[in-house]
Amino acid sequence: MASPRNPTTTPPPRRKYDIVVFGATGYTGKLTCETILKHAPSSLRWAIAGRSPQRLELLQHEWNRSYPDRVPVQTFICDLSEVQIEALVKATALLITTVGPYIRYGTPVLEACAVYGTHYVDCTGEYPWTYEMVKRCHKTAKNRGAIIIPQCGVESAPADLSTWALIKAVREGFNTGTGKVTFALHKIKGKTSGGTFETVLNLFETATLQELHESSRYNSICPAKAPEQPYQYPVRRDPDLGFVSPSISGTADRVQVFRSWGLFDSGVYYGENFIWSEVLQRRNRAHAIVTWLVLNILGVCMIVAPLRWILKKIRPFAPGEGPNEEQRKNNMIEYHGIAEADDDSETPRKAFVNFKGPDPYEVTAILMVEVALAILHDKNSLARKLGGGVLTPATVASPHLIQRLDRAGIHIETKLF
């Protein structure tokens, strides 16, 4: 992105919109807008943005007619040109963008938000891109007071917020830091949208193997020196979770969790001997081994171009499409997590977290909207105390956010044992 003309060092006291959803005509974008309509304050001043004025106006008329008691939604045309991106981010206090692949389309948008002090939320899972944005934009965003939170969908907000909830439970219940955390995808039902499929394939087409390797290190974007992580067998039996295998989201989630670890008092709050891993809960050892083998085969298919081409031909939906409302009704996602207190007690003292929500895409929409509202309204969050920057969902976590998520359909519950 070229150098901006006369950038301001702080955002204006009040912008035209509180929130703009960029990519509103896409699959995840529509779900995000519907979440705003159902759960955000009716006084919210907001707009939908995209490239097609006709499609935007159809949605605008439909939603304004269906929700007459809300402040009417407005439209904003943006074709990803530098001039229009600049106008877009200067018009709103916070931008939610679902326009992906982010490694292809997201950089100028995030950079503009950092430069003009506009808060930002997205749902990328493209951790090499997040790695690059931290390096390029963190200081600028912090200087301009912009709170930038990438990876705020299913990747990686459930892992990040659930880990925060575990750390809080251990601190309050046992008055100590946390040692080992194992976070597990317990159950999922739902199909992958065309946009998600396209994004994953594009990531492996765009990023080099070196970039994938560098950005996948657990401490690649951690702002403090993180403790060494012990080797753990990919297929194993966990004493609390049963048989487990590696998680396809584990790399993206782990780098985000360790960024949170470092942002919270350079790791002191979480625990100086913090160990974190993500797994899939499996029925038995054979199921775990088969899952591990399938993930390895899928990884090879992603790296080898001809095999990647075949995957493109068999994707379940075209970009912009996904499961319809009827199909989503029976979908769900659930995670379990175990944290061990970092102390010398003879019997390990532990905390358990359960994260449960509806269809994974609805979970992504809810997470982005509720985190966005927390950015705008919670003046006591760690993100505010840090003054901005490229941060994580956990930096705006609070009991109030957990309550709002609960009302919207995402339940995060902890208990000690």
- Tell me, yes or no, whether 396 lies in a domain: no
Q: How confident is the model over 210-219, as a mean pLDDT?
A: 95
The helix-helix angle for 27-39 and 53-66 (nearest 10°) equals: 30
Question: Into how many domains does the chain fold?
Answer: 1
Residue 232: which domain range?
Answer: 157-359+412-416
- Tell me, yes or no, whether 8 lies in a domain: no
- At residue 11, the pLDDT reads 47
On the question of pLDDT at 158 being above 90, the answer is yes
- Tell me, yes or no, whether 117 lies in a domain: no
Place of tokens 């590696």: 246
- What is the per-residue pLDDT across 94-119, written as a single tens digit (0 to 9) for each? 999 999 999 999 999 999 999 999 99
Instruction: Give the model's confidence band at 194: pLDDT under 50 very low, under 70 low, under 90 confident, else very high.
Output: low
The helix-helix angle for 209-216 and 127-144 (nearest 10°) equals: 60
**How many angstroms separate the CA atoms of 191 and 229, rounded?**
33
- At residue 314, the pLDDT reads 73
The b/e string for 332-366 (b: 16+ C-beta within 10 A; e otherwise) is: bbbbbbbbbbbeeeeeebbbbbbbbbbbbbbbbbb
**How many angstroms separate the CA atoms of 78 and 72, rounded?**
19
Specify the DSSP class assigned to residue 346.
Answer: S
- At residue 307, the pLDDT reads 81
Query: What percent of the chain has pLDDT above 90?
Result: 83
SS3 (DSSP) at 348: coil
- Tell me, yes or no, whether 60 lies in a domain: no
- Tell me, yes or no, whether 386 lies in a domain: no
Beta pairing class for 46-50 and 17-22: parallel
Lowest mean pLDDT among 6-15, 97-106, 304-313: 6-15
- Tell me, yes or no, whether 327 lies in a domain: yes
The sign of the dihedral angle between the CA atoms of 214, 339, 122, 332 is positive
Neighbours of 60 (CB within 10 A): 19
- Tell me, yes or no, whether 239 lies in a domain: yes
Check if the beta carbon of residue 245 is closer than 8 Å to that of residue 292. Answer: yes
Inter-CA distances, 275 with 136, 218, 272, Å: 28, 10, 9
- At residue 282, the pLDDT reads 97
- At residue 7, the pLDDT reads 45
Length of the chain: 417
Beta bridge partners of 237: 243
Nearest CA to 10 among 143, 149, 112?
A: 143
Lowest mean pLDDT among 52-56, 63-67, 194-198: 194-198
- At residue 3, the pLDDT reads 43
| CATH code (residue 274) | 3.30.360
- Tell me, yes or no, whether 180 lies in a domain: yes
Check if the beta carbon of residue 149 is closer than 8 Å to that of residue 391. Answer: yes
Query: What percent of the chain has pLDDT above 70?
Result: 94
Instruction: Give the model's confidence band at 190: pLDDT under 50 very low, under 70 low, under 90 confident, else very high.
Output: confident
On the question of pLDDT at 160 being above 80, the answer is yes
Q: How confident is the model over 24-43, as a mean pLDDT?
A: 98
- At residue 1, the pLDDT reads 43
Kindly state the tokens that stand for 234.
Answer: 């990919």
- At residue 305, the pLDDT reads 82
**How many angstroms separate the CA atoms of 219 and 242, rounded?**
27
**Which residues touch 387 (CB under 8 Å, ≥6 apart)?**
142, 145
Place of tokens 């904003």: 76
**How many angstroms separate the CA atoms of 11 and 90, rounded?**
8
Specify the DSSP class assigned to residue 395.
Answer: G
